[in-house]
Amino acid sequence: MRSNGCGNLRKKHIDSFVQLCGWVDRCRDHGGVIFIDLRDRSGTIQLTVDPDQGPELFAIAENLRNETVLQANGSVKSRPADAINEKLNTGEIEIQVKELIILNKVKGNLPFSVSIHNEEPIKEELRLRHRYLDLRRERMQQNLLLRHNTIKTARAFLEEEGFLEIETPVLTRSTPEGARDYVVPSRVCGGDWFALPQSPQLFKQLLMVGGLERYYQIARCFRDEDLRSDRQPEFTQLDLEISFTSQDEILGLNERLIAAIWQKVKGVNLNLPFKKMTWKEAMDRYGTDRPDTRYGMELIQVNEIFKTSGFKVFSNAISTGGSVKCITVKNGNKSISNVRIKPGGDVFSEAQKGGAGGLAFIRVRENKEIDTIGAIKDNLDPQAKETLLEITGAKTGDLILFGAGETTIVNKSLDRVRQFLAKELSLIPQEQENSQWNFLWVTDFPMFQFNKDENRLEALHHPFCAPNPKDLGNEEEKWNDRLPKARAQAYDLVLNGLELGGGSIRIHNPDLQKQVLKTIGLSSEVVQEQFGFLIDALEMGAPPHGGLAFGLDRIVMLLSSEESIRDTIAFPKNQNARCPMTQAPGNVSTKQLEELHVASTWVDPE
């Protein structure tokens, strides 16, 4: 049916007869000669239809509309010297058309224009409702090509490293920890339910117990939680697991994997090894476990200066176990007005979104004079002021912003403010090819964090991460005390403040695994019921193993400079987890429900 791709033709094809198929991108009808831009996945080329080629052909050309599916047969010709289009890869040539065959017509108005030449912003709802049209556009084609190349490179790399690609079940069982499950009723096993996997975590560990040694998968994962621009109910992980390995080996291998992807897809040579930072250091200096270290404005703890201060907001925060931390905004006096850091201001509300009740500030004026609210100024003696200016490095013209209260909230709100101001003040370096890809391993996460609502410990990553032996020791009788405070052999890969992936060395000792599950409050009955198969497996010769999973959608989002992972997925869901094209999820018949032994309690709110 076709001999070439439209976008692949060049001067070397001149005088050859070609058969092209594609979509009408646009027409220019001059009354005599008619130009048609024909587009397929490879690109666009100009077709030229002359009246002297016959009235039938001309009549077809005259009545074409955009997005008509067209076959064009004709000869490749060079364009007249003054008609060369340098903006087009195929701009030196054109097709002298001998025959046009309409393969399919377009009925009615198109909801939006596909042609890149009419790139008005289109409401995303509309793009998703007619995703097949949206996918025809260059931007989505580029993104999906980039996604394909990313996966292809990962497969080739892992193949070379001795990995096997193995599929794991999509219908599996619900587990207590983590996100809400998508649940599927079983017709055959009445009253029982499958859950869709939140990740292949346990299966990949069991593959290691099964002696497969090196596994990977492009794995679809499901989480029934509320959506964000970087979160979909079904998303894809590049998931891998290795037996007989160490943390360093896993980090090294994954750095090389990432470097291979960036090399192939972006042509960028990353510097290896990536930088490393412990979780504690990240929290102290940046207030987040995924810091953007491309710029400074670090958080500085100033508890010592304010613990005896008469400014109660600060001293109370410290005496109740919290912190006072600050960031120094260079030349902030000029760039950030008081209106913006007081209630109602954009900087203030950014701190508020992080949970802060307020945003205290000090402006440094000439001769180390400070300008702030009276309650702070009156309670800051000269020595304390001197120390503050010294450890913050604040100079004339600088603005110091404070967070005070519970340490987690201080960290969270100052992290937000820091990121917000970095964008506002353009502190993020854009220019150098390599510095815009700031990779960072964050290591030594705690095993657990305290969940206030449920009044219990919960696993920070998941409850299969192995604790650091240095923190745990060998004597089992001390596990009870030591485990809750232990660091995990867990690590995240962070790029420019976004988490790309994470993993850990896993527990392969069944007693330790039981102890960890007990620590997060699971009774031995629940452990037996929900994780019995894992404990059994660990008792039957489980090798030491560990692994990692990357968020593939997010990687592609960064590589394609998109702001939403929806633009990296062919058919994504909207923010209500609905597919605007198919309208899924939808009704099922009463008969289907009966077969599944399920009755709906849903009542339409009237």
Partner RNA sequence: GGGACCGUAGUUCAACUGGUUAGAGCACCGCCCUGUCACGGCGGAAGUUGCGGGUUCGAACCCCGUCGGUCCCGCCA
- Taking the C-alpha atoms of residue 476 and residue 493, their distance in angstroms, rounded to an integer, is 32
* Residue 346 binding RNA, by CB under 7 A: no
Choose among 199, 213, 208, 6: nearest CA to 93. Answer: 6
For 381, residues 6+ apart whose C-beta sits below 8 A from its C-beta are: none
Closer of 46 and 309 to RNA (Cβ): 46
Please, which of residues 357-416 interact with RNA by CB under 7 A?
A: 412
Does residue number 580 form part of the binding site for RNA (CB under 7 A)? yes
Q: Which of 75, 112, 333, 391 binds RNA (CB under 7 A)?
A: 112
Closest separation in Å from C-beta 541 to RNA = 29
Neighbouring residues of 554: CB distance < 8 A, sequence distance ≥ 6: 230, 498, 499, 500, 565
10 in contact with RNA (CB under 7 A) = no
Q: Is 163 exposed, middle or buried (0-12, 13-18, 19+ CB in 10 A)?
A: buried
In the chain, the N- to C-terminal Cα span, in Å, equals 56
Name the minimum Å distance from CB 42 to RNA.
17
Q: Does 320 bind RNA (CB under 7 A)?
A: no
Whichever of 125 and 378 has its CB closer to RNA, that residue is 125
Distance between CA atoms of 110 and 136, rounded to whole angstroms? Answer: 13
Provide the minimum distance between the beta carbon of 529 and RNA in the complex, in angstroms, as a whole number: 20
DSSP 367-381: GG-EEE-HHHHTT--
User: In the complex with RNA, which residue's Cβ is closer, 398 or 553?
Assistant: 553
43 is an interface residue for RNA by CB under 7 A: no
- 286-305 binders of RNA (CB under 7 A): 289
183 binds RNA (CB under 7 A): no
Q: Does 492 bind RNA (CB under 7 A)?
A: yes
Q: Is 109 in the site for RNA (CB under 7 A)?
A: yes
Cis peptide before 200 (omega within 30 of 0): no
By CB under 7 A, is residue 521 in contact with RNA? no
Name the minimum Å distance from CB 26 to RNA. 5
Positions in 49-68 near RNA (CB under 7 A): 50-52, 65-66
Q: Is 117 in the site for RNA (CB under 7 A)?
A: yes
Nearer of residues 150 and 352 to RNA, judged by Cβ: 352
Shortest Å, Cβ 8 to RNA: 17
> How far apart are the C-alpha atoms of 336 and 400, rounded to whole Å?
11
Sign of CA dihedral 348, 353, 358, 361: negative
Q: Where does residue 545 rank: exposed (0-12), middle (13-18), buried (19+ CB within 10 A)?
A: buried
Among 176, 178, 210, 510, binds RNA (CB under 7 A): 178
Residue selected from 43, 53, 126, 498 as contacting RNA according to rule CB under 7 A: 126
State which of residues 15, 120, 160, 525 lies at the interface with RNA (CB under 7 A).
Answer: 120
Residue of the chain from 7, 13, 26, 495 that contacts RNA (CB under 7 A) = 26
231 lies in the binding site for RNA (CB under 7 A):
yes
Site for RNA in 72-101 (CB under 7 A): 79-80, 82-85, 87-88, 91, 94
Tell me the longest C-alpha to C-alpha distance in the chain: 95
For 490-525, letters b (16+ CB in 10 Å) and e give bbbbbbbbebbbbbbbbbbebebbbbbbbbbebeee
Q: Is 355 in the site for RNA (CB under 7 A)?
A: yes
Shortest Cβ distance from residue 110 to RNA (Å)? 6
SS3 of 260-320: the string is: HHHHHHHCCCCCCCCEEEEHHHHHHHHCCCCCCCCCCCCCEECHHHHCCCCCHHHHHHHHC
Which one of 119-127, 144-152, 166-174, 246-254 is the stretch in contact with RNA (CB under 7 A)? 119-127
Q: By CB under 7 A, how many residues form the interface with RNA?
A: 73
Query: How many of the other CB atoms lie within 10 Å of CB of 56?
Result: 10
Among the candidate windows 9-17, 219-227, 254-262, 304-312, which touches RNA by CB under 7 A? Answer: 219-227
Cα 181 from Cα 194, distance rounded (Å): 9
